[in-house]
Structure 1
Amino acid sequence: MNTLEKIKKQIKKNSILLYMKGSPEKPQCGFSAQAVQAISLCKKKFAYIDVLEHPDIRKELPKYANWPTFPQLWIKEELIGGCNIILEMFNNGELQKCINSV
């Protein structure tokens, strides 16, 4: 399976998926840490992929998503966005609605 097929399979398999640097327990960048905190406050289980452990995904996902940075939040196979969008949506209540719709 090539990297693009792997990414598509991960997105399809996980209704809430965060591509991030590190893990929710040990984020490796401030943006990933902030994203995890906001998503965790929505009290719904989510999957994550550590792009530092998967350089192929780290390289290919920005092209596939047309989104250059990490973290990237995907909900129901749709790219929601990165840290700033996640925080904005959390602050205005949209993130909770989006996550609770899963």
Structure 2
Amino acid sequence: MQVAQILNHLGVDFKDINVLEDMSVREGVKAYSNWPTVPQLYVKGEFVGGCDIVREMFQAGELQDMLNTKGVANNAQTQTA
């Protein structure tokens, strides 16, 4: 929920997938990224991290910079929460 709130705050259009509905999808995404927890954020197919990493990147302004670099539309005036 926190990752979704950050993305909503930044005005980013995103798609979410509830991996808790299907254990094979949940385990598959964890194996794919080699990351043990969900949620996981991917930007343009690249794994960014889980909730703690996304929150820290957002607070430091790094998430906004990454989104801009990758050409993902977002609210450029928003720097931190």
TM-score bin, normalised by smaller chain: 0.7 to 0.9
Is it true that 1:56 corresponds to 2:56 in the alignment? Answer: no
Q: Structure 2-normalised TM-score?
A: 0.78
Q: Output the CA distance in 2 between the equivalents of 1:54 and 1:48.
A: 14
Give 1:94 deviation, angstroms. 1.3
Give the one of 17, 37, 40 matched to 1:69: 37
How many residues are treated as equivalent by the alignment? 70
Structure 2, gaps ≥5 residues long: 73-81
Q: Output the CA distance in 1 between the equivalents of 2:34 and 2:20.
A: 19
Give the one of 46, 64, 69 matched to 1:78: 46
User: Stretches of 4+ moved more than 4 A in 1?
Assistant: none
Q: Output the CA distance in 2 between the equivalents of 1:96 and 1:41.
A: 11
Structure 1, gaps ≥5 residues long: 1-32
Q: Structure 1-normalised TM-score?
A: 0.63
Is it true that 1:99 corresponds to 2:67 in the alignment? Answer: yes
